[in-house]
Chain A
């Protein structure tokens, strides 16, 4: 919804309203044609600016007010006080750490697993289409449904599949009372992460598989004839080729997982140190009715994200440059 100032500020020439005052210009025909060229872009641009930029501007304004929704009469301008409260609030700080941990863990683990799976799927074997379809399934389950599935059908300490399998395996070897961990209480963050890794590994696999299949087979063949082993080919040929795809997977995964709300909301409801920033802000505004505080937190998230976005845009930009130079 909200936005940093991107490389192209909305005030760039392309964003000038179409009905700019008509001034005498040396080449009126050229100017007219330029506007005709931009016209198809305008509806999308205007719509996006109105629906995403205005709310963020409003968030910025609200963040300067002490605004407790259940006592609206007491609303007053307090300057940066909300920012001080947010920055000194241990719960808020811990949710920053949680967000970073959650995002980094899920992206890295699912990227590594996805790479291994993509390498497996790049080989011909019987039933590859079926295996591929099975692997994609986790990514296609509605996120709330996936979170419910993990919480109730898999993690539940009494009848979940995980503990059920443990007691089944124990009964095979004659153990009467097997360990029955309460997964969500014992390992809350890991429980959320496992569910997200399960959903995101297929996506990483698909992106990396597309990368593998765009690699030239002749090069691999030539390297093999020169006596290179599988590991050498992977290390010096495949991995460099996949770099862009790994970066792309990490970028797209990060964009989504930094903002992820559903699994945290469903599996732990933010308890036990699993509240990430989206959940904390949601809670501050929707449950605690602290509009000013929630907005300040939102603005801080945006500022933090500018750093990530700048880096991420550079990655995409290099992808882009490569494509442009190819054509």
Chain B
């Protein structure tokens, strides 16, 4: 299956047997195909960015006006320069919910993963399955009691409620991922530290954390992305003050595309943190999303 890249030296082609030349041509054709498919998948994203940079009049034309002049009006509109609702409070809420819940997940998941992988507790595999099983069923089945509880204790429209819920949402995945990363830490390393009299926090912080640093980073990235993207909880449990960015974005649904450039600018702006983080850590993302099972 693995075929060498198309040779950059066609001058020597005469010396190459025809079968190899055929294989090279096929390989080049498949490379072109990969490019075409890649562009096709990227096209909606590129279109979103391009539309976000057009004026509303140019955005809503048929056939599309690809070459229309570019403007930042869509973004200015979105960031409230022209009097609309400011997206900053929702963006800050999203950042808070994502960052704090990610931190809480790491604090809870790291020791748990340690107990499950480095010093297996009894029936550790069952415990691990219990963690995963909490991910498998629809969140809506627990949404109503959470809503009623929050209403009764006055926690509706409170960002800390989302922090707690996002922590529970991401904790199972984090435990699974970290468990698989920690299982790779040589036991001898830990034993040596323990013989030297190191206590658990020291072992976790000084011995294990540096070894599994990339794994922890991957876990944090995934938790951040899932929290940032979450919409159902945020929609039901927040209102005005604790509204998150995705909920703010749903406010554009009713506009029926009247402000297409602005909708696209909003979508780009709100996706940007995830896009940046995801592109920066592509490999980690794969490994993490497949619960560490794919290496």
Interface residues of A (CB under 8 A from B): 1-4, 6-8, 10, 12-14, 34, 37-41, 43-45, 47-48, 51-52, 54-56, 58-59, 62, 117, 119-128, 130-146, 148-154, 156, 158-159, 161, 163-165, 167-168, 171, 198, 201-203, 206-207, 209-211, 214, 217, 220, 230, 233-234, 238, 245, 248-249, 252, 255, 258-259, 261-262, 265-266, 269, 277-278, 281-282, 285-286, 291, 294-295, 298-299, 301-302, 305, 308-309, 312-313, 316-317, 319-320, 323, 327
CB of A159 within 8 A of CB of B62, answer yes
Interface segment among B11-19, B40-48, B76-84, B210-218: the answer is B40-48
Q: Does B87 contact A (CB under 8 A)?
A: no
Query: What is the chain B residue whose CB lies nearest that of A217?
Result: B2
Contact A48 B131 (CB under 8 A): yes
Question: How far, in whole Å, are A132 and B172 apart by their CA atoms in the complex?
Answer: 29
The 10 A-B pairs at the shortest CB distance, nearest first, are namely A8-B126, A125-B31, A40-B111, A55-B142, A58-B145, A145-B267, A1-B142, A298-B141, A131-B38, A6-B133
| Inter-chain contact B236/A305, CB cutoff 8 Å | no
Residues of chain B with a CB closer than 8 A to A238's CB: 1
Closest chain B residue, CB of each to CB of A40: B111
- A285 and B257 CA atoms in complex are apart in Å by 28
Instruction: Kindly state whether residue B198 has any CB partner on chain A within 8 Å.
Output: no
Interface residues of B in 244-284 (CB under 8 A from A): 245-246, 249-250, 252-253, 256-257, 260, 263-264, 266-268, 270-271, 274-275, 278-279, 282
Q: Of A132, A206, A262, A309, which contacts B289 at CB under 8 A?
A: A206
Tell me whether A142 and B121 are in contact (CB under 8 A). no
- Answer whether residue B243 sits at the interface, using C-beta atoms and an 8 A cutoff: no
Q: How far is the CA of A142 from the CA of B226 in the complex (A)?
A: 9
Contact yes or no, A299 B141, CB < 8 A:
yes
Which of A206, A258, A285, A327 is B138 in contact with, Cβ under 8 Å?
A258
Listed residue (A54, A55, A135, A281) with the most chain B CB atoms within 10 angstroms of its CB = A55
Quick check: B129 and A6 within 8 Å, CB to CB?
yes
Bound Cα distance from A153 to B232, whole angstroms: 23
Which residues in B have their C-beta under 8 angstroms from that of A120? Answer: 30, 33-34, 37
Shortest CB distance B209–A (Å) = 14
Closest residue of B by beta carbon distance from A261? B232
The DSSP consensus for interface residues of chain A is helix
Residues of B within 8 A of A168 (CB): 63-64
Q: Which of A34, A159, A198, A308 has the most CB of B within 10 A?
A: A159
Q: Name the residue on B nearest A121 (C-beta).
A: B34
Whether B253 pairs with A266 at a CB distance below 8 angstroms is yes
Residue in A10, A43, A124 whose beta carbon sits within 8 Å of that of B2 in the complex: A124
Give the total of B residues in contact with A, Cβ under 8 Å. 111
19 contacts between A and B (CB under 8 A): A1-B142, A40-B115, A55-B146, A126-B6, A141-B45, A142-B229, A145-B270, A148-B249, A153-B264, A158-B60, A159-B61, A210-B287, A210-B290, A210-B294, A261-B232, A282-B140, A294-B144, A298-B140, A309-B137
Closest chain B CB from A49 CB (angstroms) = 9
B145 touches A248 (CB 8 A): no
Partner of B121, one of A38, A59, A261: A38
A130 to B229, CA, bound (A): 25
B42 touches A137 (CB 8 A): yes
Q: Could you say which residues of chain A place their CB within 8 Å of the CB of B125? A: 8, 320
Q: Are B164 and A154 in contact (CB under 8 A)?
A: no
Minimum CB distance partner of A319 in chain B: B293
Question: Complex formed: what's the CA distance from A276 to B131 in Å?
Answer: 26
Residue of B nearest to A41 (CB): B115
- B138 and A56 form a contact (CB under 8 A): no
Interchain CA distance A39-B108 in the complex, whole Å: 12
Chain B residues, CB < 8 A from A277? 138, 140
Q: Which of B31, B44, B111, B270 contacts A154 (CB 8 A)?
A: B44
The CA of A143 and the CA of B39, in the complex, are separated in Å by 20
- From residue B45, how far is it (CB to closest CB) to chain A in Å? 5
Tell me whether A278 and B138 are in contact (CB under 8 A).
Answer: yes
**Contacts A38-B121, A211-B294; A44 near B232 (Cβ below 8 A):** no
CA–CA, A13 and B129, complex, Å? 15
Instruction: State the Cβ distance, A153 to closest chain B Cβ, in Å.
Output: 6
Contact, CB under 8 Å: A156 / B144: no
5 further interface pairs, Cβ-Cβ under 8 Å (given A123-B2, A142-B270): A152-B260, A159-B260, A164-B64, A167-B62, A266-B250
Contacting pair A317 B129 (CB below 8 A) = yes
- Check A248–B138 contact: CB distance below 8 A: no
Q: Tell me which residues from 143 to 185 in chain B have a Cβ below 8 Å from any Cβ of chain A.
A: 143-149, 164-165, 167-169, 171-172, 175, 183
- Give complex CA distance A131, B134 in Å: 36
A285 → chain B closest CB, angstroms: 5
Least distance between B170 CB and chain A CB atoms (Å):
11
B176 nearest CB across to chain A (Å): 9
Q: Is the CB of B5 within 8 A of A125?
A: yes
Within 8 A of A (CB), among B90-109: 108-109
Q: Which of B28, B115, B129, B137 is in CB contact (< 8 Å) with A301?
A: B137
Residues of A within 8 A of B291 (CB): 252, 316
Q: In the docked arrangement, what's the CA distance between A252 and B291, Å?
A: 9
Q: Are B111 and A44 in contact (CB under 8 A)?
A: yes
B240: A residues at CB distance < 8 A: none
B145 to chain A: closest CB distance in Å?
A: 3
Using an 8 Å CB-CB cutoff, how does the interface string of B41-82 with A read, 1 for contact, 0 for none? 110110110010000000111111000000000000000000
User: Can you name the residue of chain B whose Cβ is closest to the Cβ of A255?
Assistant: B136
- A164: which B residues are within 8 A, CB to CB? 61-64
| Residues on A with beta carbons closer than 8 Å to the beta carbon of B149 | 55, 58
Instruction: Give Cα A52 to B167, complex, Å.
Output: 11
